[in-house]
Amino acid sequence: MRPRENEQTGPLTAFLMADHRRLEKLLQSAVAHVDQIDRGAYEQFRAGLLRHIGMEEKILLPAAQRLRDGEPLLIASRLRLDHGALATLLIPTPTTAVIATIRGILEEHNILEEGPGGLYEICDKLAGSEAAQLLAKLQAAPEVTVPALRHSYGDEHRTPGTGESWL
Ligand SMILES: [Fe+2]
């Protein structure tokens, strides 16, 4: 989703939307061949999405809450639920079904963040003169160290963990 025409895109919106597009391209590359998932592209997507989620969970949402005198955004709890679900889906071996589920969640989730009145627009407005400083913090967010993907064989015998500890 693009911001409305004639509306200037704020720096936080521009940066985070560009990262969404980058992640979409990586996921697209991972499934470019019908019968084989490109593990290299998927690994980059997985690390990138976890870093992106980390930027929002650890930097953006707390900043928004601080700028609202400690009041969390109404949208924050829904976004956090989505982030938890996405992180968990990034744990197992990527199958077509897992990737379809991730895409389904991201489609709605990205609208809530990018759309008019969404998270990014709200944050640009709240940040005001602090936007550049907040952007620098997002840009400096560390890469996320993720465990290697599990092998397909035996996945069903392992207890699914939660991805939240990576965030
Ligand atoms: Fe998000």
CA of 78 to the centre of ligand 1 (A): 10
Residue-range definition of the domain harbouring residue 82: 11-141
The verdict on residue 86 lying in a domain is yes
The verdict on residue 17 lying in a domain is yes
CA of 109 to the centre of ligand 1 (A): 7
Task: Please answer whether residues 155 and 93 qualify as being in contact, where contact means their C-beta atoms are separated by less than 8 angstroms.
Answer: yes
Q: What is the pLDDT along the chain (167 residues), one digit of tens a residue?
A: 555 554 679 999 999 999 999 999 999 999 999 889 999 999 999 999 999 999 999 999 999 999 999 999 999 999 999 999 999 999 999 999 999 999 999 999 999 999 999 999 999 999 999 999 999 999 999 988 776 665 554 444 444 444 555 55
CA of 123 to the centre of ligand 1 (A): 13
The verdict on residue 100 lying in a domain is yes
Task: Please answer whether residues 163 and 91 qualify as being in contact, where contact means their C-beta atoms are separated by less than 8 angstroms.
Answer: yes
Tokens of 94: 């990527």
Total tally of structural domains belonging to the chain: 1
The verdict on residue 165 lying in a domain is no
Distance CA 127, CA 81 (A): 24
Distance CA 128, CA 114 (A): 18
The verdict on residue 161 lying in a domain is no
CA of 110 to the centre of ligand 1 (A): 7
Residue 33's DSSP bridge partners are 36
